[in-house]
Amino acid sequence: MYDLMIAKGWPPEKIVVGLVTNPANGGGFVPWSPLSDVLTVLRGQYGKFGGVMGWEYFNSLPGGKERPWEWARQMSTLLRGHLFAQDTQVKLAAKMDTADVDPDTPGGKEVEVPA
């Protein structure tokens, strides 16, 4: 269906995939493993991606009624995991690149800091 909508001229960033978040909420529930594969292919194939809409937040899996926010957290990691990895790499590189340019103080004495 996604490919058909693209073929009809809809821009990928305007198409949102709707998902049932728990099989108790209706037919069409897709487990995380095949869902991850499909969303990865869509993001790779079209670049821009409109996102995901979950049907019924209150009992979303994997957390269920006790922790429905886990669905959103896992979905964010699935959709934006590559961004989190890049952000972490940039922060690590920034930490590694920080060094004193000239660690020696002039004349071997500490420089006074104005009050």
8 occurs within a structural domain: no
> What amino acid occupies position 58?
F
| pLDDT bucket at 65, cuts 50 / 70 / 90 | very high
Backbone angles phi, psi at 56, to 5 degrees: 80, 105
DSSP annotation of 31 reads -
Over 80: is that where the pLDDT of 113 sits? no
93 occurs within a structural domain: no
51 occurs within a structural domain: yes
Q: How many structural domains compose the chain?
A: 1
| This prediction's pTM | 0.64
Q: Return the pLDDT at 4.
A: 92
Instruction: Residue 46: give the domain boundaries.
Output: 19-82
95 occurs within a structural domain: no
User: Mean per-residue pLDDT for 10-32?
Assistant: 95
Over 80: is that where the pLDDT of 59 sits? yes
Over 80: is that where the pLDDT of 100 sits? no
Residues with Cβ < 8 Å from 22, sequence gap 6 or more? Answer: 29, 56, 59, 60, 61, 64
66 occurs within a structural domain: yes
